[in-house]
A and B are shown apart, each in its own frame.
Chain A
Amino acid sequence: MIRPLPVCPKDALFSLLDDSLTEIQTAAVTFHINECESCRTDLEKLAASPLVWRETSDILSDPSLRTEATSSLPRSELIGENVGPHPVSDVQIRNLLPMLTPPEQPQNLGRLDHYEIESVVGWGGMGVVLRGFDSALGRPVAIKVLHPHLAAHGTARRRFAREAKAAAAVNHPAVVPIHSVYADSQPPYLVMAFVPGGSLQDRLDREGPLETAEILRIGYQIADALAAAHAQGLVHRDVKPGNILLDHGQNRVMLTDFGLAQALDDATLTASGLIAGTPQYMSPEQARGEAVDMRSDLFSLGGVLYAMASGRPPFRGDSTLAVLRQIGNVDPKPVCEIQPDVPSWLGSFIASLLSRNATDRPQSAAEVATLLRECLAHVRQPLSNSLPKSIPLALPPTKTAGSKTSLPAALAWLFARRRPASWAIGILAAMLMLIAASMVPKIDVWLRGANKATQSQSENTSVQSEATQNQSSPLLPFDKTQWDDGFDLPLRQLRQQLEAARNP
């Protein structure tokens, strides 16, 4: 099939390296290289000097370099618990928990007082979470053991005990109840209710960004749980998707790990090289190591809402330091830019929680909970519930450039609806707009006219939605929940794949 080349394709070698030949040309030159030693040598020289070939071999085969490149600062500790369950061998468990006695059931890992240890659920900076069974009361439990090297610190142990006791006092349906605290055990551990299902982090990893109503539903329950804790004077300090558990039916949301990050948040501990908490959701004041109050939790809650809406944390980086650098120096990219179908009011509300300055955020978790509940009511039944007045209404994209409306922005606005039925009309409107381009300031009027036309032709829900918009906020052009969700699905899958490819 491939004919031998009559002469050596010297000129093509550069393009071959550059991958700029056609498939057939590549095949022909590759075939030639198979046979022609002179071209092979030329290609190798062109690719890199003999010194670089040798260096590549020496450096990349150096095992000390390879391992240090990836493990000088262990990723699991840096990135927190997001890395998922860590495969832990029996030996490691035994090293970690020397006080384990042999299990009653042979398939279990061991026994801790009257708890049978069944498996390792998670593994994070502050210790290990085990799944156990309370043989006295006959119920499954989750057992959190403080990392032995932290347990060696008197301060850390006392904090662990104090905070665990405080957390045990919070009684709220959305807070994972703490059954017992064994502060004097070596190492100390606490026993909590076992919540079957996974964390919000697991769900985000699996499904990507969530629906508006779902974001509000989960957000409301967390805010409410935080309000209950704050009323007791307890700051969570580590609100993040990994600490939000969803039960199997996914209806109940439960916050866990109350105040425990405090046990790590100590100058003497950071000296041991361990960085407290998961940086991605940390407030700027926390990242700077300053005193934190309830409003720090609200920042982190904003981060969680951000992750639910966009599918990724507000701050990302390849190392703890890279993330810490961003927090407090950079504003996260607006949610609506990552995910155009997030309602703009939700985007601005999230941004207000993520204000760098604590005084610019909403001031209490109770206030945030009320707002989220009202927003949820609005999204579910827009006709009978309007958006709360204090929700900041961002201008829709068509208005962001000031009073003038750019044509691309207007088009983006039209197509952001992602509604097949309205595409044709959208194109028609776009053509009309081209004609009307000279009357730029009037495009808004045009667009609204076009929308009305679209919606009057479609089913009731759309008409209803337009009615709602007029009623509650004339500047709110669309609301994702009102539209056909089926159409979003392939896009979401595509996005997940892209995200997955980007963050292997």
Chain B
Amino acid sequence: MSLHPETRQSLLLRLRDRDDQQAWSEFFEIYEPLIYRLARAKGFQDADAREITQDVLMAVSRSISRFRKADHAGGFRGWLATITRNLAINRLRGRNLTSLDESVAAKRLEELVCVDEHNHDEVRFEQEHRKQVFVWAADQLRSRYSQANWLAFWKTCVEGATVAEVAKELNVSPGTVYVARCRIIARLREIVEQQTAGESPL
């Protein structure tokens, strides 16, 4: 069910058009922080994580036109997870690191190279992607609502304040707070659904 049945194609499909700036900026906004975070979680320092992020995004922008969903069981994000893993391994192999001693690097490499039997990386990638999409969607919506509406949503849904408190603070009726926060979360859900929907087969 969608309140605004936007007939937008999936991000992956739109990315094939190199001139679709909207799609590419969405892609960078969502995946840049996501890949950086995953690299940090693997134990890379800030500078190395940034380098890996750049390498991955550059690799994707170079080879997106050759991506075929049929070749990758995990779909687009599975493919991204694989690229991230491989480029992280490359970086460890090249020892092109700003600060990591040899023994630690060797251990990391071993961890990364050993077969990912249960697709942990892919599962983790999906989870982190969903989180990032929530954050991204909130950033998108923030500017579309008035301060009062946004506060009604943010304070009650995120900060855990009660509707009565926030209504009093904003000097509106509790009903207004209910409506505002429901409207915003409904849009948020739509954006998340749209971004996390499985891509159509290519």
B-contacting residues of A (Cβ < 8 Å)? 14, 16-19, 26, 29-35, 40, 43-44, 46-49, 52-53, 55-57, 59-62, 65-66, 68-69, 72-73, 271-273, 317-319, 321-322, 325-326, 329-330, 504
B95 to chain A, nearest CB (A): 12
Q: How many residues of B contact A (CB 8 A)?
A: 52
A34 close to B173 (CB less than 8 A)? yes
B21 close to A59 (CB less than 8 A)? no
B160 close to A57 (CB less than 8 A)? yes
Tell me the complex Cα distance, A325–B15, Å. Answer: 12
A384 to chain B, nearest CB (A): 44
A412 to chain B, nearest CB (A): 24
A68 close to B183 (CB less than 8 A)? no
Contacting A at CB under 8 A, from B145-202, are 154, 157-160, 173-176, 178-179, 182-183, 185-186, 188-189, 192
Taking a contact as CB atoms closer than 8 A, the residue among B29, B159, B192 that contacts A318 in the complex is B29
Contacting A at CB under 8 A, from B42-56, are 46-48, 50-51, 53-54
Tell me the complex Cα distance, A47–B157, Å. Answer: 13
Tell me the complex Cα distance, A73–B19, Å. Answer: 24
Contacting A at CB under 8 A, from B125-148, are 130-132, 134-136, 138-139, 143
Which residues of the other chain, B, contact A40 by a CB distance below 8 angstroms?
178
Taking a contact as CB atoms closer than 8 A, the residue among A14, A33, A69, A317 that contacts B136 in the complex is A69
B33 close to A68 (CB less than 8 A)? yes
B9 at the interface (CB under 8 A from A): no
Tell me the complex Cα distance, A35–B175, Å. Answer: 8
B58 at the interface (CB under 8 A from A): yes
Which residues of the other chain, A, contact B178 by a CB distance below 8 angstroms?
30, 33-34, 40, 43-44
A-contacting residues of B (Cβ < 8 Å)? 3-4, 18-19, 21, 24-25, 28-29, 32-33, 36-37, 46-48, 50-51, 53-54, 57-58, 61, 96, 98, 130-132, 134-136, 138-139, 143, 154, 157-160, 173-176, 178-179, 182-183, 185-186, 188-189, 192
Tell me the complex Cα distance, A62–B29, Å. Answer: 18
Using known A-B contacts A16-B179, A34-B174, A55-B134, determine if residue A73 contacts B50 with beta carbons closer than 8 Å.
Answer: yes
A321 close to B58 (CB less than 8 A)? yes
A17 close to B186 (CB less than 8 A)? yes
A72 close to B158 (CB less than 8 A)? no
Taking a contact as CB atoms closer than 8 A, the residue among B29, B132, B192 that contacts A319 in the complex is B29
B-side binding surface: helix, strand, loop or mixed? Answer: helix
Using known A-B contacts A18-B3, A40-B178, determine if residue A322 contacts B185 with beta carbons closer than 8 Å.
Answer: no
Which residues of the other chain, B, contact A16 by a CB distance below 8 angstroms?
179, 183
Using known A-B contacts A53-B185, A317-B21, determine if residue A43 contacts B32 with beta carbons closer than 8 Å.
Answer: no
Which residues of the other chain, A, contact B192 by a CB distance below 8 angstroms?
52
Taking a contact as CB atoms closer than 8 A, the residue among A62, A273, A318, A329 that contacts B25 in the complex is A318
B202 to chain A, nearest CB (A): 22
Which residues of the other chain, A, contact B176 by a CB distance below 8 angstroms?
30
Tell me the complex Cα distance, A18–B134, Å. Answer: 20
Taking a contact as CB atoms closer than 8 A, the residue among A17, A30, A60, A321 that contacts B54 in the complex is A321
Tell me the complex Cα distance, A322–B19, Å. Answer: 11
Tell me the complex Cα distance, A54–B122, Å. Answer: 23
Which residues of the other chain, B, contact A271 by a CB distance below 8 angstroms?
47, 51, 96
Task: List the B residue with the shortest CB-CB distance to A322.
Answer: B28
Tell me the complex Cα distance, A272–B154, Å. Answer: 37
Task: List the A residue with the shortest CB-CB distance to B98.
Answer: A272
Using known A-B contacts A17-B186, A318-B25, A322-B28, determine if residue A68 contacts B37 with beta carbons closer than 8 Å.
Answer: yes
Using known A-B contacts A16-B179, A321-B58, A322-B24, determine if residue A60 contacts B186 with beta carbons closer than 8 Å.
Answer: no
B28 close to A17 (CB less than 8 A)? no
Tell me the complex Cα distance, A493–B31, Å. Answer: 36
B19 close to A330 (CB less than 8 A)? yes
B190 to chain A, nearest CB (A): 9
Task: List the A residue with the shortest CB-CB distance to B160.
Answer: A57
B33 close to A47 (CB less than 8 A)? no
Which residues of the other chain, B, contact A32 by a CB distance below 8 angstroms?
175
Using known A-B contacts A30-B179, A33-B178, A318-B25, determine if residue A47 contacts B135 with beta carbons closer than 8 Å.
Answer: no
Using known A-B contacts A273-B51, A317-B28, determine if residue A330 contacts B182 with beta carbons closer than 8 Å.
Answer: no
A466 to chain B, nearest CB (A): 39
A321 close to B28 (CB less than 8 A)? yes
Taking a contact as CB atoms closer than 8 A, the residue among B54, B132, B185 that contacts A69 in the complex is B132
A44 close to B182 (CB less than 8 A)? yes
A330 close to B21 (CB less than 8 A)? yes
Which residues of the other chain, B, contact A26 by a CB distance below 8 angstroms?
179
A48 close to B96 (CB less than 8 A)? no
Using known A-B contacts A33-B175, A43-B178, A47-B183, determine if residue A59 contacts B135 with beta carbons closer than 8 Å.
Answer: yes
Tell me the complex Cα distance, A16–B175, Å. Answer: 12
B119 to chain A, nearest CB (A): 22
B136 close to A56 (CB less than 8 A)? no
Tell me the complex Cα distance, A484–B79, Å. Answer: 58
B158 close to A65 (CB less than 8 A)? no
Tell me the complex Cα distance, A67–B33, Å. Answer: 10
Which residues of the other chain, B, contact A14 by a CB distance below 8 angstroms?
3
Taking a contact as CB atoms closer than 8 A, the residue among A44, A49, A59, A321 that contacts B32 in the complex is A321
